[in-house]
Every structure is written in structure tokens, then in C-alpha cells.
Amino acid sequence: MKYSFKNDYSEGAHPRILEALVRSNLEQQNGYGLDDYSLNAEKLIVHQIKNQNSKVHFVSGGTQANLIVISAFLRPHESVVSASSGHIFTNESGAIEATGHKVHGMETLEGKLRPEDVQKVIDLHQNKPHQVKQKMVYISNSTEIGTIYSKRELQELYRFCQDRNLFLFMDGARLGHALTAETNDLTMEDLATYTDAFYLGGTKNGALIGEALVINNENLQEEFGFHLKQKGAMLAKGRIIGIQFQELMKDNLYFDLADHANKQAMKMKKALKDKEVDFLSETFTNQIFPILSQSQIAKLSEKFDFYVWKKMDEEKAAIRLITSWATTDETVDHFIGEIAGI
Amino acid sequence: MKYSFKNDYSEGAHPRILEALVRSNLEQQNGYGLDDYSLNAEKLIVHQIKNQNSKVHFVSGGTQANLIVISAFLRPHESVVSASSGHIFTNESGAIEATGHKVHGMETLEGKLRPEDVQKVIDLHQNKPHQVKQKMVYISNSTEIGTIYSKRELQELYRFCQDRNLFLFMDGARLGHALTAETNDLTMEDLATYTDAFYLGGTKNGALIGEALVINNENLQEEFGFHLKQKGAMLAKGRIIGIQFQELMKDNLYFDLADHANKQAMKMKKALKDKEVDFLSETFTNQIFPILSQSQIAKLSEKFDFYVWKKMDEEKAAIRLITSWATTDETVDHFIGEIAGI
Amino acid sequence: MKYSFKNDYSEGAHPRILEALVRSNLEQQNGYGLDDYSLNAEKLIVHQIKNQNSKVHFVSGGTQANLIVISAFLRPHESVVSASSGHIFTNESGAIEATGHKVHGMETLEGKLRPEDVQKVIDLHQNKPHQVKQKMVYISNSTEIGTIYSKRELQELYRFCQDRNLFLFMDGARLGHALTAETNDLTMEDLATYTDAFYLGGTKNGALIGEALVINNENLQEEFGFHLKQKGAMLAKGRIIGIQFQELMKDNLYFDLADHANKQAMKMKKALKDKEVDFLSETFTNQIFPILSQSQIAKLSEKFDFYVWKKMDEEKAAIRLITSWATTDETVDHFIGEIAGI
Amino acid sequence: MKYSFKNDYSEGAHPRILEALVRSNLEQQNGYGLDDYSLNAEKLIVHQIKNQNSKVHFVSGGTQANLIVISAFLRPHESVVSASSGHIFTNESGAIEATGHKVHGMETLEGKLRPEDVQKVIDLHQNKPHQVKQKMVYISNSTEIGTIYSKRELQELYRFCQDRNLFLFMDGARLGHALTAETNDLTMEDLATYTDAFYLGGTKNGALIGEALVINNENLQEEFGFHLKQKGAMLAKGRIIGIQFQELMKDNLYFDLADHANKQAMKMKKALKDKEVDFLSETFTNQIFPILSQSQIAKLSEKFDFYVWKKMDEEKAAIRLITSWATTDETVDHFIGEIAGI
């Protein structure tokens, strides 16, 4: 069996999470997110972001989080601006449009939106009311191509949004990996300060399932439960996400798992760089995109599974390698050994 | 801590399910429902219903199953007929309408739809195209009030639907309980024969999460994955539902758990009947609705949690008691002992 | 050619409207409702309702008005309460649900909603957020069966709505006929006082097309143009509705036309009553529902077209007769002559 | 009063249309598009396109036509490809997305889509079912910037669509202008042969209101009336659009009006070219885009109204001049006289 670097959700959950599920299994709890674990997990998150006024809801996946947030926050004539590499623009089978809203996809540098990218969309939509009204900016951190936002970038974008009456929403499917990247200077507190809402991804960071959605803007918190229910996201056994986040938020587990994944990727990156391999982009999270020759790719794929991401020319292509909380030192050493020979 | 008869999803999962999760935890698997467990669980279900042409998809909850099925099967001008007690009509916060479709709610006997109920809706909508077109019949089995469909009832309804070019969809959130009721004469094979689609509920029958949606009508199977994705139902770790249904479908576990829940309810029903308590409806599944006086309710609620379901008069009300796979003999004996004293 | 009493939109427009169209034909005007005629028509309406803060928009038909108002005013989890005879509940092919909102249809007396009808819906939806949230009450005046709201009824309903944080919206497809009924005590000013929004129907009262939507609640006026555009209701030549309402609102034409229609219906009603014919309901607008024997219906239908509305028993049925601004005295005399012989 | 070249819907209707409205005014007709005029207008169109199997529906405007066609033809997970200058992509306030469908906007040459543009979208959406499925191609003829499709271009695009199981839909808001352009080689018959559906715009070619939607693909014709009704497009007095198209389709009026508009634009183009003015694009329909200096624009705008379309540099900008059926020779001569002096 080849080891797969295809994604960070190939395994089940971190053992501590399974243990917590087993330990609590027969305790009777309220349904629909009103269980003790979910309430406690919310407290732990609120404590970390240092914003008592934020509200936390648990949902089962990223597309679900995105479509509920966007359809709950926007009126029918309002749209959302995304990078063209953004998950909502290109990878959710029209989930946002299915709730009635246009997504503007902007070609951007490194998968990140800057104020000038958003301004460009606004400038192109001045013929009101014949053109749709922009009301939200959607960003991913880490992005779909592994890059991260600096504190300054986030601050500038948030200020821009505030000035133009736009909501700023951060997709954090891989937020743990962003916050533990060696180049990161954002804190959990910053997320509560410089976004209207964001989520902490669990599925890609050691949970069986689940994302923790945090709504900071109090105007957007009202009656949110209706939207969860209406979109099929309110689990009868909400407890199973609650208990996982309760465990992840204790003893720094969430960040330790992400940090582990990043470190494994960085070791692989270093080994590749030592071999003078170029990369599609410079990343410091758990996704790396080395550019290899077709023969190198063929050789490597005898031992490992991964996606060929982008053809560069007739000769070369970038591949995507993703590590996770479950990627062992042995696996990484094996990989490093293999690339020595290609 | 009082024992709660409020619902059948107060605990976690049956131990065998947790064991299966632990056992498989570190195996790498494909994402998005293409894991070995999901594929194997599909085979086990297809084997039981004896219909090789049915397709199985796993989703995380009942409202999600309902809204995806209905929005995927209907064109924009088509509507669905439900009992007014139906989950989609009254308990999903407008989930079906949010996908653009009208739900007709019919007052019915025992929460069940008969051909004449559906015909009545059709008769009231003859002014085409000014009135919406009926295209689907939605039923729950067991129903929201614990009753079940007989084989003859299902056959008649399905034939009626076939004659009028309507789809028949069965919400099986508590299908295990229906199929193991002492009065049941439906088989798994019948479900594949007499419905266009149905689902086997896991959440209310011992799983952590998950429902197994079975599409029998081949015309309705095409491109269904897009709808799962678009509505946020395609879990990256689809494996976690797959492995649970793989376990539930082995060694009759799914039916044993439901049978256990039913039997516990029947013991409680018998004890109440022995005390000459009346019931709101005659049920043989894991929901019973005894009618008690206010003082009896007050007394009982000192020891147990449950919902007061319906006020009958100034003096009396029906309560709802739900048992589950996790309701122990001790609990039932305790309950029977308590009602002896009221 | 038989005269048709089937509806009040069988002819074109009142001659004064055609003359106004011809007169203004070659004047260049701004598009999209920003023409002088629309702006002037708005002024005339605002003057009549004595509410300078109301905003007026012109749309091409009633279903369009209803679906835009409801989708613009409600958030995704909010629903609207209607009589079960209400146009939005039963006669718009699912138009409201297609925008994502549930319509509750209540069986009511004479097609009118009273506070207790709405309260009943609210009482049945206390399980939040699992059940949809009621946010709007929709009424028609005159109703789909020709009855009208008294001032007191409207006041009570509006106060009820205010107390429960509900919007009150009046469908006025036949509002002219309501306001000129001999039993009416509502004024145009009352409409601005006791509704959040209403519309003055033109199509059924002598215009070629068009309804004048009046939004009184200032919170609901914001960015309404986007909704008109998005739903395909913003006509490039908005002028053609503007000029019609400019003409209708001058010299009392709108009310004269409705009054004429009512009077013709009342003459026919009197003639039928003189023959001791019973009626399905007592109406004072341009719709009457006499109950006739099958042989009487057959005889009458040799001379006139009309709808058979409701079968009463084996022998008898109620028919619907609608008069309009274009129903002449000769036609009415002819009808009265005919019924003398049946 | 300055003459406006801002658009082709600044006046009312061609006198023959008003005369037809007056002439037919008091004839009683069926409602909702079942009047004699609409039925006759359909026959005239079907005769011209030489396709007895095509069906015709009349709607009140272009955005309405677009949103109904797209939402009626596509299933929820299907998307439509447009030029980024396409009306549905940028000028309908999110109307298509509001019905649940994604619109892909492609940067193209001259506002026209070629097979390779569409293929590029398809190539970017191979990750099924995670990415939305393309099912329709939307084109405008003439385009939003005045260019037209040649017969060969349309044939190639249609064949491409057929090969890839895509619908081809042509927005014909200015179709008359396209078909009468001096460079045009398309016939009415070609439109029925090489599109699945298209519409003949009336609003911008001498009608008060109205577009004639023609559905050629028989699979797409079924139950279309429901969609018209549901989206608020089925006018009670459908007669008023029917009679206009009956008139337009007689004696070549529709094409004479468009031809007139084109000729006036071409005279203005020639005069500008004689002055060595450059153009943003080379057009042969009723829209021209001369590039003028700021001082020339200021001077011209003292005498005429028009839109400044696109800034070219610090010095120059392209303006848009639109002529119509109502643009007189005197006006054109006046314009030519003025530009002589700038």
C-alpha cells in the first residue's frame, strides 16, 4: 500500500478524539448543539479569541459552513467577492449560487485577496441597481494553494471592508495550519478582531468531522440557528462535533496537530530544495507544490500517491503534497530517501 | 440525573460502532464517499434490498437527506405532498421551500398519507399552469407519531403514484423501528420495490451520525453526487458514515437495535395499559403517547425527562416517551415501578 | 360572439389611457422607471395616501409584485401567512416558494385573515429554530372571492402585526373595487397607515398592464430597485406603466372605473336576488357568485361566458360573474333580461 | 431639449403598434397568452423561421426572458457560460444566480463566445462532482457592444454545443439589428436551426414592451407555461404583447425598423470616420463607439445626450451612440453637422 499525500483527511481522527467519544458515549445529552460538550467547546474558543461576544456554531463541513454563512448574512441582491482560486468560486459545485448569490472570482497573487482586488470588482459594478451589489469578501487562510495572510494584510483588508460596508469572512478549513506556519504573525485574537466571521476547520486537522464557525459581528448572530436547521446542518447528535472541539481546544491539541503537519511538509520541502527543485509557490503550511520532471513524477508515484497539480511545460509539472497530523516521521524519512534517488 | 425519554439520540453510538471507528482509524482512504467502507456498506444494503440497480449515498442527517432528494428530483415548478405532521412540512424550518419547492400539508389519519389524500391535492390544482404541479409524495415510516405503513398501504400508494406520474419518497429516519415493529409486514426488499427512494436512518438507531439514502428509480440516480456536494452534504471523511453503516448492516445489528428500542417501549406501553391509561394513538414502535393527568405528569417528571406532546383538555395531556437502542432493562423497570405508584 | 364575464381583463385599456400613450409617444424619456410620467404618477399616489415618506414602484403584474415584495422583505428563514384562498398560496404556481419562502395557508371566513387565524399559525410554530419563523401577513383586498376588509378589521390586523413584529402586506389587484364598494369604509390614507406595503392594481381596472406598489415602511424601502431588476420587473420602457397610472390617478379615473364595475355587478346581483337566487357569499365588489341549477347554468351559458366556480350539490353550482370598467349598460341589461327568463 | 443617443428605448412605440392597440382595444380576448393576437403572432414567427415545431412565448423584457429560460432549462447543478460582457453576467443584478445557477463569464474578443472559450471553462471544471457542470451557452446577437455573429460562427458554436451536450441560447434583445446589419448572413431560419432557443426583442425595436421567446428544442418546451407563471411573467393581458408582435411580424415591419436604426448609425459612423475618428470596435448595428478627446466629448454633449463608455487614456474616451427606429434624418443630419465642427 502506497502512502498517500493526496490530502489531509485520509485517516480517521487523532486518538485523543476517539477516546473522548468513547469516554462520553453513554452520557445522555440534549440534541441539536445544546449538549454540554458543544457549550463547553464554545467557551474554550471564546476564551482563546478573547471575545466574549462572539458566538460559536458547529457544522459538519466547509462547504456547508460557507453556504450557510453567506446565505444567512446577505440579502438577495448582494454578492460575495472571492479569489478565483477560492473554494466557493470553483470547488463547491455552485453551492453559493444555489442559495441565490453571485460569487465574483478575481485572479489574484498567491490565492489571496487584497483591497485593490476587491475595489476592482466594486468599480466594475457602479451601474446600480442594474448590477449586483457587493457585500462580502471571502478569503481562505491558509489559502487553497497553501499561502497565508499576514497580520498586516488582514488588517488592511478588514479596514477596507469596514470603510465600504462589506463583511469579511474567513474560510478556515486549514486555519490551524495557517496559524502555526513559521511565517505566521496572526493570533486567534486577531481573527476575532479583524473578521466578521471565520471558522476553525476540524476535518482537515485531526477531527472525524466538523468545523467551528465563529461569528464576531453581533448583528450577524441573530437567529442563526434557523439557517443551520434550514440548510440541514443542525445535527441531532451535535454532541459529536462538540466533544471533538472540546478535545481539540484543550492542551493546545488543535495547534500541535497543525504544527506537526506543517513541520513534516517543511522537512520534505527542505529535502526537495536541497535537490534544487523549484516550487510553484513558496508555502509554509502543510501543502507544498514542487515542480518535477515527468520521469521524476513517474518514479515518485511508484511509492507515493499525490495529485499532479499543474502542467508547467512539456517536460515538467507541479505536484501537490499534503501532510497531516497523521503523517509520521517514518513516512517523511521514506519520502526524503526516495527523492534522494530521483 | 433523570433519565431522558425525550428522544432516541441522547447518547452517542452503539459500542460496536465506536470499535469499528477505532479499528479502522489509521487506514488511509479516499475522501468524499469513495472509501472502501462506504462502498462496502452500499453492497450490504443493496444485498438486503435485493436490487442491484439501486444506488446508495450517505448523508449526515434527515433534513439534509430530504432537501437534497427533493431539490434533485423535482423541476422548479413541481411540488411535494406530505402529511401535515410530516417532518418536511412542519419541522425543517422551511428547508424544502428554501430550495424552491412548495410542500402541500394534508391533515391525515395517524400521520399517514393515503391515495385519496394525495388525490385531493391534485384535484385542487387543476388550473394549470396557474397552480403548482404535484410531482412527489413524501411519507415517513415510522411516522412522526410512531405509526407504520402496512405492505398493502405502501403498495396502494406506490401504484397510485405510478399511475399519476408521481415519485414516492420515504423518510426512514426511524425505518429500523418500523421494520421491526410487531405489526410490520414490510421487508427491505419491499422498500426497493415500492418506493422511488428511501433512507435508512442511522442517527436515531445507534449511529453517531448518518443516514443511508437509497435511490431505486434509475432515472433519478444520474449526477446525484453534484447535488450532495452543492448542498454541503459530501463529507471529506465520508468514511465515518460508511464504516458505521458497514457495521450496522452486518449481523443484523441495525434491526437488533431497533427491535430492542421497540421492545422497551412496548413493555412500558403494556405497563401503562395495565393501569388503564389511554393513548393518543396506537403505536408499535419506539414512540408511545400515553394520556395522563397533570398531577401524574408532574409526578413522573420528577424521575424522568420527556415531552408533553398535546394538551387533551384542562385535566389531561398526552406525553411522548421515546426509547432507543440504549434504553436498558433497568431503566424500563424503574419506569414501570414509578408508574405503579401514580 | 358571447359576452364574457370571466374576468376583468378581457379588453384592452380605458380610452383615456390609450390617448395618453399616443400623446406622449415620441417624447424621449429616461428608462427603468426614471421617466417623468412614473415620477409624476408616484407624486399623485403619495398625495392621495397623504404619506410623503411612502415610495412607489411600478411593476407589470400581481404575481410579480407579490414575489418581489416577499423575497425582498423577508430573510431566508422567514415565512408568510395567507388565507388558503390567497393568490400567493394557491394561484401563483409556487412563485413565493421559488424565492425560498414558505406560505402558510389558513382556512378562513370569507377569504379574509383575522388576528386569530395568524395567531394559530404562530402557536403551531413555537419549536424554534426547528420550525420556520412567521414574519409577514399577506391579505388581498378585495379578496379572491370578492369580499372586502373593513377599516376596523384592517386596524386590528395591523395592530396585531405590529405587536408581533410581523409585516402586513396587502395585495390590491382589485383594490379600486374594494375602495369603491358601497360597504367600504377604508380610505387611501388608511392604506398608508395600516399596512407596511400594498399595491394598486391597474391590470384589472382599466390599464393595459401595471400595478403600483407602495412601500410605507421606510425600513423596507432601501435598495428595492435591485430586487425589481433581479426579478426581471424593471422595464426599460417603465414609462408605459408610469403614464397609465398618471392618467388613472388624475380626475378620479381609477376610482370611477372601479365604481362603474361594482355598480354593474350590483345591478346584476339585484336582478338575481329579485329572482330569489342565493349566493355563495355576499359581495359588494365586481365579483358575484350566484348559485344556479345546472339547467339555469346551461341556459345562461348560451348567451354569456363565465366560470362555474363551485359545485354545491348534484343539482346546483355557484358561478362567478365578473364585471369591469368596460361592461356596458347594454350588456348588463341584456344579462338582466336573460335571467328574467330562466 | 437635447436629443438622446443613450439608448433605443427612449420613445414609446412605432405608430402602427399604437394603432393596432387602439383598433383591437374593445375586443374581448382570453387572458394569459391565449388571446387570438398572441396565437397569430406565434404563427407568423413560426412561418418566418420555417420550423413548425418551435413554440413561441411572449414576455415583458430581456432579463425576464433570460432568467426564465435558464432556470427552466437547467437542473440545479448546471451552469451557463457567457461572455464577461454578457447581459446575464454583468447587467442583471444577479438575476440568474437568484434562480440558483452559476454564470461563468469569459473574457472574449468583441463580446462573442467561440467554441474555444467555452472549452476553456469546461477544461477548468473537470473535478466532478466538486465543480459545477456546464450545460448551457448564452450568447447575445447583436452583442452588448454591437457586434454580430456570422452564420459560420453560429454553426460552429452550435455544433460544438451539440457535441458536448450543451444548450445554445441566444439573447436577441437587439436581434432585429443583427439580422439587418449590412455584414449579416444569418436568416430567421438559421436561428431555428442553430439554437435551442432565442428571442426576438421588441422593446428595443419599436414595441412598447415585449420579447418573443422561441423554443426550438422540443425537449425544452414541455410545461414551460408553469415557469412563466411562477416567475411573474404571465400577463393577464398577454394580448398587449401579442398584438404588438402581430403587427411587427407583418409587412416586414420588425426588420424595417431595425434596418432604419442601423442605417442612421452607419451614417453617423461614416461621418465620424471621415473625420478620422477611431472606434472602440467595428460595428454594423445601431450601436457605435467612437473614441473622442475630452474636449470633443464636452462639446458634443452640449447638443446630445450619450454615455461615456470607456476611458482610453488621460486624453480620450470611447462614447456610445445608439440609434433607434425613432431616430430621424433631421437628428442624424444635426449630429453630422455638429461633428463637422469639433
DSSP string, A100-131: T--EEEE--GGG---HHHHHHHHHTT-STTTS
Give the span between the Cα atoms of A311 and A83, in whole angstroms. Answer: 21
Mean pLDDT value across residues C116-133: 97
Whether the link from the prior residue into D281 is cis, omega within 30° of 0, is no
The pLDDT, as a whole number, for residue C260 is 98
Contact D173, D62 (CB under 8 A): yes
Do C75 and C186 fall within a single domain? yes
Mean pLDDT value across residues B143-157: 97
Distance linking the first and last C-alpha atoms of chain D? 21
Q: Which residue range is the domain that position B285 belongs to?
A: 258-340
Q: Count Cβ atoms within 10 A of the Cβ of residue A219 and give its class: 0-12 exposed, 13-18 middle, 19 or more buried.
A: exposed
Do A322 and A307 fall within a single domain? yes
- Is B3 contained in some domain? no
Is D97 close to A93, i.e. CB distance below 8 A?
Answer: no
Last residue of a domain, one of D191, D215, D248: D248
Under the banding of pLDDT at 50, 70 and 90, the label for residue D52 is very high
User: At how many degrees (to 10) do helices C239-248 and C15-24 cross?
Assistant: 130
Contact D172, D59 (CB under 8 A): no
Q: Does the pLDDT of residue C342 top 90, yes or no?
A: no
Do A130 and A236 fall within a single domain? yes
Give the span between the Cα atoms of B306 and D199, in whole angstroms. Answer: 61
Last residue of a domain, one of B248, B281, B306: B248
DSSP label of A141: S
CB contacts < 8 A (B, D):
56
Residue for grid cell 497531516:
A324
Give the span between the Cα atoms of A315 and A188, in whole angstroms. Answer: 43
The pLDDT, as a whole number, for residue B341 is 83
Residue B53's contacts (CB-CB under 8 Å, 6 or more residues apart) are B216, B218
Do D236 and D299 fall within a single domain? no
Give the span between the Cα atoms of D52 and D39, in whole angstroms. Answer: 13
The pLDDT, as a whole number, for residue A331 is 97
Last residue of a domain, one of D248, D273, D296: D248
Mean pLDDT value across residues C149-159: 98
Residues of A whose CB is below 8 A from C230 = 76-77, 132
* φ, ψ dihedrals at A133, nearest 5°: -100, 125
The pLDDT, as a whole number, for residue A235 is 97
Q: Count Cβ atoms within 10 A of the Cβ of residue D6 and give its class: 0-12 exposed, 13-18 middle, 19 or more buried.
A: middle
Do D149 and D294 fall within a single domain? no
Q: Are strands A167-171 and A197-201 parallel, antiparallel or unpaired?
A: parallel
Name the neighbours of C, counting chains with at least 3 Cβ pairs within 8 A: A, B, D
CATH number of D271's domain: 3.90.1150.10
Do C131 and C26 fall within a single domain? yes
Residue B199: strand, helix, or coil: strand
Contact A175, A198 (CB under 8 A): yes
Under the banding of pLDDT at 50, 70 and 90, the label for residue C1 is confident
The pLDDT, as a whole number, for residue B6 is 97
Q: Count Cβ atoms within 10 A of the Cβ of residue A109 and give its class: 0-12 exposed, 13-18 middle, 19 or more buried.
A: exposed
Nearest CA in chain D to A121: D90
Q: How many domains does chain B have?
A: 2
Residue D308's contacts (CB-CB under 8 Å, 6 or more residues apart) are D297, D317, D318, D319, D320
Is C230 close to D3, i.e. CB distance below 8 A?
Answer: no
Q: Does the pLDDT of residue B107 top 90, yes or no?
A: yes
DSSP string, D267-299: HHHHHHHHTT-EESS---SSEE-EEEEHHHHHH
Residue for grid cell 398526552:
B318
Q: Does the pLDDT of residue B148 top 90, yes or no?
A: yes
Grid cell digits, residue B329: 432493562
Residues of A whose CB is below 8 A from B237 = 9, 12, 203, 208-209
Is A64 close to B233, i.e. CB distance below 8 A?
Answer: yes
Is A229 close to C76, i.e. CB distance below 8 A?
Answer: no
Q: What mean pLDDT is reported for chain B? A: 97
Under the banding of pLDDT at 50, 70 and 90, the label for residue C256 is very high
Q: Name the CA dihedral angle for C322, C326, C331, C332, rounded to a multiple of 10 degrees.
A: 60
Q: Does the pLDDT of residue C106 top 90, yes or no?
A: yes
Gap from D140 CA to chain A (nearest CA, Å): 17
Mean pLDDT value across residues B66-92: 98
Q: Does the pLDDT of residue D289 top 90, yes or no?
A: yes
The pLDDT, as a whole number, for residue C238 is 98
Under the banding of pLDDT at 50, 70 and 90, the label for residue C181 is very high
Do A98 and A216 fall within a single domain? yes
The pLDDT, as a whole number, for residue C11 is 97
Which residue, A266, D207, D228, is CA-closest to C67?
D228
Nearest CA in chain C to D97: C230
* Spans of chain A, pLDDT less than 70: none
Do C149 and C295 fall within a single domain? no
pTM for this entry: 0.97
Gap from D93 CA to chain A (nearest CA, Å): 4
Gap from B185 CA to chain D (nearest CA, Å): 38
Helix (H) or strand (E) holding B168: strand B167-171
Q: Does the pLDDT of residue D342 top 90, yes or no?
A: no
Residues of D whose CB is below 8 A from A93 = 77, 129-133
Of A132, A133, A227, the CB nearest to C76: A227
* φ, ψ dihedrals at B270, nearest 5°: -60, -45
The pLDDT, as a whole number, for residue A342 is 81
Do C69 and C37 fall within a single domain? yes
DSSP label of D29: -
Is A102 close to D97, i.e. CB distance below 8 A?
Answer: yes
Q: Does the pLDDT of residue D53 top 90, yes or no?
A: yes
Of D76, D129, D132, the CB nearest to B225: D129
CB atoms inside a 10 Å sphere around CB B322: 25
- Is B218 contained in some domain? yes
User: At how many degrees (to 10) do helices D253-274 and D329-340 cross?
Assistant: 10
Gap from A331 CA to chain D (nearest CA, Å): 28
Residues of B whose CB is below 8 A from D230 = 76-77, 132
Give the span between the Cα atoms of C268 and A265, in whole angstroms. Answer: 87
Residue for grid cell 404575481:
C63
Query: Which residue type does B132 have?
Result: V
Q: Are strands C211-215 and C55-59 parallel, antiparallel or unpaired?
A: antiparallel
Nearest CA in chain D to A128: D93
User: Could you tell me how many residues make up chain C?
Assistant: 342
Is A25 close to B9, i.e. CB distance below 8 A?
Answer: no
Residue for grid cell 535537490:
A275
Do C157 and C30 fall within a single domain? yes
The pLDDT, as a whole number, for residue C87 is 98
Nearest CA in chain D to B73: D75
Mean pLDDT value across residues C164-170: 98
Residue A58: strand, helix, or coil: strand
Name the neighbours of A, counting chains with at least 3 Cβ pairs within 8 A: B, C, D
Under the banding of pLDDT at 50, 70 and 90, the label for residue B296 is very high
Which residue, D163, D68, D131, is CA-closest to B223?
D131
CATH number of B105's domain: 3.40.640.10
Burial track D75-86 (b if 16+ CB lie within 10 A, e otherwise):
bbbbbbbbbebb
Is B132 close to D72, i.e. CB distance below 8 A?
Answer: no
Give the span between the Cα atoms of D21 and D239, in whole angstroms. Answer: 9
Do C129 and C153 fall within a single domain? yes
Is D91 close to A127, i.e. CB distance below 8 A?
Answer: yes
Q: Does the pLDDT of residue B67 top 90, yes or no?
A: yes
Grid cell digits, residue C265: 355587478
Do C187 and C314 fall within a single domain? no
DSSP label of A132: P
pLDDT digits (tens, 9 = 90+) for A279-337: 999 999 999 999 999 999 999 999 999 999 999 999 999 999 999 999 999 999 999 99
With pLDDT > 70 as the criterion, what percentage of chain A qualifies? 100
DSSP label of B139: E
pLDDT digits (tens, 9 = 90+) for C204-230: 999 999 999 999 999 999 999 999 999
